[in-house]
Amino acid sequence: MIDLHDLRERPEEYQRVCGQKGIKLDVAAFLQLDAEYRKTRSEVEAMRAEQNAVSKEIPKLSGPEKESKLAQMKALAERLKEGGAALKDLEERWGKQQLLLPGIPLPQVPVGKDDSENVFLRAWGEVPKPAFELRDHVRLGKELDLFDIERGVKVAGARSYFLKGDGMRLQHAMMSLAMDLLHKAGYTLMDPPHIVTWNAMMGTGYFPGGEEMAYHLDERDDGFHLIGTSEVPVASFHTDEIIPVEELPKRYAGYSPCYRREAGAYGKDTAGLYRVHQFYKVEQVVLCRADPEESMSLHKELLGNAERLMQLLELPYRVVDVCTGDMGQGQVYKNDIEAWMPSRKAYGETHSCSSFYDFQARRLNTRYKDASGKNTFCYTLNNTLVASPRILIPLLENHQNRDGTVTIPAALRPYMGGQEVIAPKRS
């Protein structure tokens, strides 16, 4: 949801951004609806005020004058009934279309049609060039008995898997490392609800428009849904609240399983663990004052936390500025971190760092009192710190050895009982 005053002042800018983000909305038509809605609402409010005033007069009247006022009230009630019905219809259409309006990207966001036009910023680590034939993560998983995709598919269908043994321990170690890193940085750790309402999905910008990617637990439009990221419940934590300004920024870290249908991804990344229906994630979520400089500072902090983890995992990666065509509806600035994945002979996205300004807070009605005492919508940001099993792909492939073993990064060893290498199990 955006500031409608801003929309009315620069509709051409919003129409341009709709085109850049692939949002099908006629801004001019919405503004006509907006004008009609406001006009009808004003008329209905005036009739209600007149009705209240006349109803107070009637008990004081008698005779013909009272009869005249009663007739006036009857005609007014009929007009009010018609006006109220028209207003209800207009308000419903106005509300639904308003949810489709995009956040305006910051000036430094590159314009582009899709992820192929994201802009490289920097890289860390050296891409390994071993003098032996590399195994992909699927082969490593089988030979080291880390996961079982075939049985996962048998039990739960396509894009499913079992993590097992050292594969499960490795995932748990990464999640523990990530949570310890954020705990030491002053973030409040959260184990949030995994099932949320439609309002939480709408409030964070996933609905409307992302319904086909979510698992729905019943048929009702206002029913419950499995989360695709803990961003949804954690960002919704302060819904309809006014946060004391001295408590901002709020730094949270949500740890949860995540569920995505991956609708529309048929035939894409079907092999291995890159695109699956169920995964675990530690997600950073921040709420701050409506201050662009503070927001950008926190954006860099979130991104820095993720880069720190990648460096602890000793994984080569690059950071890109995400272009307009690869951004979500509400995002105003976004960076991706992409890890080097040898089996793909390319970098693959492992993290997304997003700034929303007040887009989510307006939907969630999350505010604070500014210096003048005015209730002001917060700014929100989020960034993945680690998501598994996707992160297992670069971890296994980049740290493999000639003999088929995998070296465990030093930062993970304390979480794995000091184990340094994952090797095939002996009979």
| pLDDT tens digits for range 192-201 | 999 999 999 9
Statement: residue 18 has pLDDT above 90 = yes
In this prediction, residue 220 carries a pLDDT of 61
CA 363 to CA 377: how far, in whole Å? 10
Q: Which pLDDT does position 58 carry in this prediction?
A: 80
Name the least confident of 32-41, 209-218, 261-270, 381-390.
Answer: 261-270
pLDDT band of 187, cuts 50, 70, 90: very high
Classified as helix, coil or strand, 224 is strand
- CATH number given to 4-98: 1.10.287.40
Could you give the CA distance from residue 132 to residue 403 in angstroms, rounded to a whole number?
A: 10
CATH topology of domain 115-422: BirA Bifunctional Protein; domain 2 (3.30.930)
The alpha carbon torsion through 24, 322, 368, 98 (nearest 10 deg) reads 0
The pLDDT assigned to 144 comes to 96
Residue 390 is a catalytic residue: yes
CA distances from 302 to 106, 276, 352, 378, 410 (A): 18, 25, 10, 17, 23
Q: Is the per-residue pLDDT at 147 higher than 80?
A: yes
Of 256, 343, 352, 388, the active-site residue reads 352
Catalytic residue among 135, 159, 169, 260: 260
> Using CA atoms, how far apart are residues 296 and 334, in angstroms rounded to an integer?
11
Q: Is the pLDDT of residue 1 over 90?
A: no
SS3 189: strand
Secondary structure (DSSP) of 398-412? HTB-TTS-EEPPGGG
Give the distance from CA 95 to its chain's centroid: 21
Q: List beta partners, residue 61.
A: none
User: Mean pLDDT, to the nearest integer, of 41-59?
Assistant: 87
The residue-averaged pLDDT of 336-353 equals 96
- The 8-class DSSP code of residue 73 comes to H
Query: Would you call 260 a catalytic residue per the annotation?
Result: yes
Q: What is the pLDDT of residue 267?
A: 63
Question: 29, exposed or middle or buried, with CB in 10 Å at 0-12, 13-18, 19+?
Answer: exposed
Task: Identify the pLDDT of residue 69.
Answer: 74
For 163, how many CA atoms within 13 A lie in the half-sphere containing its CB? 18
pLDDT of residue 238: 98
Tell me what the mean pLDDT of segment 44-67 comes to. 83
Residues 379-383 have a mean pLDDT of: 98
Average pLDDT for 26-43: 96
- Per-residue pLDDT band at 417 (split at 50, 70, 90): very high
Helix axes of 63-98 and 27-57: crossing angle, nearest 10 degrees:
160
**With 90 as the cut, is the pLDDT of residue 42 above it?**
yes
Alpha-carbon gap, residue 382 to 251, rounded angstroms = 10
pLDDT tens for each residue of 277-324? 999 999 999 999 999 999 999 999 999 999 999 999 999 999 999 999
Give the pLDDT score at 54: 80
Mean pLDDT for the chain overall: 94
pTM here is 0.93
Task: Give mean pLDDT, residues 136-147.
Answer: 96
Strand partners, 353: 335, 383
Phi, psi of 132 (to 5 degrees): -145, 165
pLDDT digits (tens, 9 = 90+) for 74-129: 888 888 999 999 999 999 999 999 999 999 999 999 999 999 999 999 999 999 88
pLDDT at 291: 97
For residue 427, is pLDDT > 60? no
Position 264 pLDDT exceeds 70? no
Question: Which one is catalytic: 349, 363, 388, 397?
Answer: 349
What percent of the chain has a predicted confidence (pLDDT) above 70? 97
Distance CA(163)–CA(146), nearest Å, equals 6
What pLDDT is attached to residue 72?
82
C-beta separation of 35 from 339 below 8 A: no
Question: Residues near 42 by Cβ (< 8 Å), separated by ≥ 6?
Answer: none
pLDDT of residue 406: 98
Cα separations in angstroms, 424 against 142, 324, 350: 9, 45, 27
Q: What are phi and psi of 256, to 5 degrees?
A: -165, 160
Domain map (residue ranges) of the chain: 4-98, 115-422
Return the ∠ at Cα 117 (arms to 116 and 121), rounded to 5°. Answer: 105
Yes or no: say if 334 and 354 are a contact pair by the CB < 8 Å rule.
Answer: yes
212 classed as catalytic: no
**Residues composing the chain:** 427
Catalytic position from the list 275, 289, 318, 413: 275
